């Protein structure tokens, strides 16, 4: 996950049995006016410079860990299953069937080829999945594939995955980084160099790698042998360039030196919205801006204090001043953009849940009843990252308004991620703000990470038996609507128990030069080809 | 001398980075908590679970054999990574040095020799520009000359010589601004001081032509402090370049040093730091040599280095 700007941390995986999620497009998001796609490009374009928030550090999907790597991999590589712009799971390089609750059969589409013209076979699929699951390679996703018992090629175009127990989150995982199929013979030849600047990669996407030079960027060009004849890449060259400096990025977008960016938590959004050089599109988001609770041993161990803090938070101020309007008031932890299956079931339950609103008087009373007035709460924060600093300030005001004392543990921006990974670093901190997302559109992907015992960001052993039961049952439930109902139960219990406190639900922000169109505008861009329709405006 | 500086610097920097909070693995995974098995494999691969001295010795032993090690984040040789970026920084520093030498010394001489309005103007401008830190200068230059006027590109390196010059102009000006002011002021002061010396006054009263007085009596003597201050400011540019490179998204070693320090990519930090220390020592040495040439009385070995 990423710290500041956002993070990925799902342990879990997801969704649907049948790839046919009953999608009713109107229900993707409860926030009206958020479109998951922009109109397809109509004209060829010679080159596009696209910014990422830092340099890409690896193109190997098993070492892909943040926005830049996701953006690069999903531009050029494809997974077994594909996340549609609305988050529903669709066939990708393969279709999937479930002959039994503990078996998945992937059938490769006919005609799928790698960039070098070699056909993709079941051997490549077995190799890619084994590689992602192998803890010895130190990849980042082996833990999420822990229910896979075996992966076997059952015919040249068919792979059977046997599970130790049913896992309906696995298809979601296999629609993201661990599901990316790479060419076995090529990867074996590259060995440790695969995906590094010294080496190369071999994937199947409509854009293929031309060069990967640290400091300069990742350059992709159209793949002339793309297997899907309905896709015609329009951009002759896409350069992904790391631009960590906000002033530089903003100036680049305003002057056309940078033509596109997914602006996560961009403090200059207001300035860009008013510019004649770029257009800002807001789409459904999958990330949640939350207060991650690091310890229940301090004042936040008391549920009434957590509720009071949530109740005292001025969320509209965060939306206005921190997100420049590009976020929604929450009802649950999860962003409604994550309803990738069982949409109508999710939407109905979500719409009937109350919006979290501010009530300071009530909140003060809760703290008094708890006998915690005057106690100190310690927030982890960094003043060097606008979103974190802004949200911390809102929590500081909320805590003081309800009679708590506030201490800040402020660290340099680059150390903020250490709150997520290091218990020593978190010691003495009660909570810290972050934005988190799962790697596919399922609220359970995020919930599992902090609600479940052993979850990757369940820092202080939170365990609510009812929530755990609902999530575990969801993981083994085939029917999407029934699964959605179980996840809804977990969401409703989570918002009661508040192991994390939701702040706001950020939108996906797409900043695009006025003469370009066609990029995805939902968070699916992190995991699906986002530039296949990108081109000049008509 | 150089070797001793390098050894001490390498140890201090290694220790500082070792003691700084955080782990390179956090940056590697973007803060995503990794499966424990992966953490174990990665720690072993990069010797992260060994003692400080063992890690330092491992690095030093390799470095002495000409191997600067491997970047943890990019899994690529440090020397390759530095080599691909060094010309950006070299070009930027050279361009800025040129601006400092031509404009800084030029303005200083003119305003030193010609008291009056021009002199006052130079004083005011240099007072302001000496006070502006490079990153502020960068923001102002980007907003005015790239965004508002569109004369220069806002970021990136550009291609070809002319492209490079165009892309490097704003960064070089941002980098040069403060040092230029200091050099101009020191130049002005030494020219003024030399002009007031008795032998200069005598030469003027004896009717020696002004250009010869300036050339042989004023500039020749003023050249020594000017060279010293120019050498020091140019050497310091090498370090300040990082700030400018970040602001203009240039792929130089300065910006890379910042990035590597943030991600605790220790081999990269070590490699770049050693290069910077070497460059600093070499530039200062060059300034000393030039001074010695200008004034034979200053024997090279007597000067502090």
Given a cut of 80, whether residue A8 has pLDDT beyond it is: no
The Cα B222–Cα B188 span in angstroms is 9
Tell whether B120 lies on the interface with A, counting CB pairs under 8 A: no
Interface of A with B in 21-50 (CB under 8 A): 49
pLDDT digits (tens, 9 = 90+) for A297-349: 999 999 999 999 999 999 999 999 999 999 999 999 999 999 999 999 999 99
Secondary structure (H, E, C), A118-155:
CECCHHHHHHHHHHHHCHHHCCCCHHHHCCEEEEEEEE
Q: How confident is the model at residue B304 (pLDDT cuts 50, 70, 90)?
A: low
Alpha-carbon torsion (B10, B16, B18, B20), positive or negative: negative
CB nearest B31 (choices: A215, A243, A420): A420
- Contact indicator for A38, A518 with CB cutoff of 8 Å: yes
The alpha carbon of residue A221 is apart from the nearest alpha carbon of chain B, in Å, by 19
Interface of A with B in 143-182 (CB under 8 A): 143
Residue of A nearest to B31 (CA): A417
Given a cut of 80, whether residue A26 has pLDDT beyond it is: no
The alpha carbon of residue A257 is apart from the nearest alpha carbon of chain B, in Å, by 7
Q: Provide the pairing of β-strand A327-328 with A278-283.
A: unpaired
Question: How high does pLDDT run on average in chain A?
Answer: 91
Residue of B nearest to A420 (CA): B31
Interface test with A, best of B155, B164, B170 (most A CBs within 10 A): B155
For residue A382, give the 3-state DSSP assignment: coil
Query: What pTM value is reported for the model?
Result: 0.88
For residue A441, give the 3-state DSSP assignment: coil
pLDDT digits (tens, 9 = 90+) for B108-136: 998 988 888 888 988 998 999 888 888 89
- Contact indicator for A215, A517 with CB cutoff of 8 Å: no
pLDDT digits (tens, 9 = 90+) for B243-274: 999 899 898 999 999 888 888 888 999 999 99
CB nearest A198 (choices: B76, B154, B263): B76
Interface of B with A in 167-206 (CB under 8 A): none
The whole-number average pLDDT for the span A5-16 is 32
Interface of A with B in 250-309 (CB under 8 A): 251-252, 254-255, 257-258
Tell whether A408 lies on the interface with B, counting CB pairs under 8 A: no
Whether the predicted interface score ipTM is above 0.85: no
pLDDT digits (tens, 9 = 90+) for A423-479: 888 999 999 999 999 999 999 999 999 999 988 899 999 999 999 999 999 999 999
- Contact indicator for A506, A335 with CB cutoff of 8 Å: yes
Q: Which H or E run includes A233?
A: none
- Contact indicator for B238, B276 with CB cutoff of 8 Å: yes
Under DSSP, the state recorded for B95 is H
pLDDT digits (tens, 9 = 90+) for A472-513: 999 999 999 999 999 999 999 999 999 999 999 999 999 999
CA distances from B36 to A137, A143, B33, B39, B257 (A): 12, 9, 9, 5, 29
pLDDT digits (tens, 9 = 90+) for B73-93: 888 899 999 998 999 999 999
Q: List the single range of A114-118, A122-126, A221-225, A263-267 with lowest mean pLDDT.
A: A263-267
The alpha carbon of residue B230 is apart from the nearest alpha carbon of chain A, in Å, by 30
Length of chain B: 305
Tokens of A347: 């939407």
Tell whether B248 lies on the interface with A, counting CB pairs under 8 A: yes
Instruction: Give the model's pLDDT for residue A28.
Output: 40
The alpha carbon of residue B57 is apart from the nearest alpha carbon of chain A, in Å, by 25
The helix/strand count (H/E) of chain A reads as: 16, 21
The whole-number average pLDDT for the span A104-120 is 96
Given a cut of 50, whether residue A17 has pLDDT beyond it is: no
Q: How confident is the model at residue B301 (pLDDT cuts 50, 70, 90)?
A: low
Residue B88 has φ and ψ, to the nearest 5°, of: -60, -50
Given a cut of 90, whether residue A162 has pLDDT beyond it is: yes
Instruction: Give the model's pLDDT for residue A10.
Output: 34
CA distances from A537 to A229, A272, B220 (A): 22, 19, 64
- 8 Å CB contact of A425 and B34: no
CB nearest B247 (choices: A136, A245, A411): A245
Torsion of CA B255, B258, B264, B266, to 10 degrees: 70
Given a cut of 50, whether residue A380 has pLDDT beyond it is: yes
A144 CB-near residues (< 8 Å, 6+ apart): A10, A11, A12, A13, A173, A178
Instruction: Give the model's pLDDT for residue A341.
Output: 96
B10 CB-near residues (< 8 Å, 6+ apart): B59, B60, B63, B270, B273, B274
Instruction: Give the model's pLDDT for residue A266.
Output: 86
Please compute, for residue A329, the number of CA atoms within 13 A of its CA located in the half-sphere on the CB side: 14
- What percent of chain A stands above pLDDT 90? 82
Residues in chain B with CB shorter than 8 Å from the CB of A244 are 246, 259
């Amino acid at each position: 996950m990423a710290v500041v700007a956002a993070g990925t941390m799902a342990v879990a995986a997801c969704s649907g049995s049948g790839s046919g999620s009953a999608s009713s497009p109107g229900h993707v998001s409860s926030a009206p006016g958020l479109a998951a796609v922009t109109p397809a490009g109509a004209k060829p374009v010679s080159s596009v410079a696209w910014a990422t928030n830092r340099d890409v550090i690896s193109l190997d999907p098993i070492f892909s860990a943040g926005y830049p790597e996701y953006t690069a991999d999903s531009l050029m590589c494809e997974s077994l299953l594909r996340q549609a712009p609305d988050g529903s799971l669709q066939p990708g390089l393969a279709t999937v069937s479930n002959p039994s609750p503990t078996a998945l059969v992937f059938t490769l589409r006919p005609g799928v080829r790698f960039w070098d013209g070699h056909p993709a076979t079941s051997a490549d699929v077995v190799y890619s999945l084994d590689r992602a699951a192998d803890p010895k390679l130190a990849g980042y996703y082996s833990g999420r594939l822990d229910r896979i018992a075996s992966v076997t090629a059952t015919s040249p175009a068919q792979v059977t995955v046997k599970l130790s127990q049913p896992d309906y989150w696995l298809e979601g995982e296999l629609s993201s980084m661990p599901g990316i199929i790479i060419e076995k013979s090529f990867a074996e030849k590259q060995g440790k160099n695969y995906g590094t600047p010294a080496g190369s990669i071999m994937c199947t996407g409509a854009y293929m790698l031309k060069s990967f030079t640290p400091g300069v960027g990742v350059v992709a060009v159209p793949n002339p042998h793309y297997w899907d004849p309905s896709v015609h890449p329009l951009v002759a060259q896409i350069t992904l360039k790391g631009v960590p400096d906000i002033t530089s990025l903003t100036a680049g977008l305003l002057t056309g030196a940078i033509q596109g960016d997914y602006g996560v938590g961009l403090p200059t959004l207001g300035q860009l919205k008013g510019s004649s050089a770029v257009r800002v599109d807001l789409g459904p988001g999958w990330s949640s801006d939350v207060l991650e609770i690091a310890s229940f041993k301090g004042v936040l161990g008391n549920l009434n204090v957590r509720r009071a803090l949530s109740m005292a938070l001025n969320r509209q101020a965060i939306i206005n001043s921190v997100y420049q309007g590009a976020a929604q008031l929450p009802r649950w932890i999860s962003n409604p953009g994550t309803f990738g299956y069982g949409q109508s079931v999710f939407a109905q339950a979500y719409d009937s849940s109350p919006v979290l609103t501010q009530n300071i008087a009530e909140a003060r009373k809760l703290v008094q009843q708890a006998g915690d007035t005057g106690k100190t709460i310690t927030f982890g924060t960094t003043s060097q990252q606008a979103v974190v600093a802004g949200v911390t300030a809102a929590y500081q005001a909320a805590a003081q308004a309800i009679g708590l004392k506030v201490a800040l543990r402020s660290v340099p921006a680059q150390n903020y991620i250490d709150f997520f990974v290091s218990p020593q670093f978190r010691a003495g901190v009660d909570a810290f703000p972050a934005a988190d997302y799962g790697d596919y559109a399922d609220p359970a992907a995020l919930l599992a990470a902090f609600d479940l015992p052993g979850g990757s960001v369940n820092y202080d052993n939170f365990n609510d038996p009812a929530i755990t039961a609902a999530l575990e049952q969801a993981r083994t439930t085939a029917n999407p609507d029934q699964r959605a109902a179980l996840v809804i139960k977990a969401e409703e219990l989570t918002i009661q128990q508040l192991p994390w406190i939701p702040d706001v639900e950020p939108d996906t922000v797409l900043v695009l030069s006025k003469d370009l169109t066609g990029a995805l505008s939902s968070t699916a861009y992190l995991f699906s080809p986002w530039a296949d329709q990108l081109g000049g405006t008509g | 001398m150089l070797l001793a500086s390098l050894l001490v610097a390498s140890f201090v920097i290694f220790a500082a980075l070792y003691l700084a909070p955080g782990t390179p693995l956090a940056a590697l995974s973007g803060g995503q908590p990794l499966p424990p098995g992966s953490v174990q494999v990665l720690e072993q691969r990069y010797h992260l679970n060994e003692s400080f001295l063992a890690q330092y010795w491992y690095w030093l032993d390799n470095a002495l054999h000409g191997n600067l090690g491997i970047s943890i984040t990019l899994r690529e040789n440090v020397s390759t990574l530095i080599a691909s970026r060094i010309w950006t920084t070299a070009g930027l520093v050279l361009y800025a040095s040129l601006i400092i030498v031509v404009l800084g010394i030029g303005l200083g001489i003119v305003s030193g020799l010609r008291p009056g309005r021009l002199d006052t103007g130079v004083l005011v401008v240099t007072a302001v520009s000496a006070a502006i830190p490079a990153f502020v200068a960068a923001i102002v230059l980007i907003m005015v000359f790239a965004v508002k006027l569109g004369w220069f590109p806002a970021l990136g390196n550009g291609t070809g010589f002319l492209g490079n010059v165009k892309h490097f102009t704003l960064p070089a000006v941002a980098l040069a601004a403060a040092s230029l002011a200091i050099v101009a002021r020191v130049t002005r002061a030494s020219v003024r001081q030399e002009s007031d010396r008795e032998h200069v006054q005598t030469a003027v009263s004896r009717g020696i032509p002004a250009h010869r007085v300036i050339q042989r009596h004023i500039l020749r003597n003023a050249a020594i402090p000017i060279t010293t201050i120019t050498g020091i400011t140019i050497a310091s540019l090498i370090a300040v370049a990082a700030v400018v490179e970040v602001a203009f998204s240039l792929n130089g070693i300065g910006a890379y040093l910042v990035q590597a320090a943030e991600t605790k990519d220790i081999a990269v930090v070590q490699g770049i730091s050693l290069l910077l220390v070497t460059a600093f020592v070499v530039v200062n040495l060059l300034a000393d040599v030039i001074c010695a040439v200008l004034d034979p009385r200053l024997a090279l070995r007597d000067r502090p280095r």
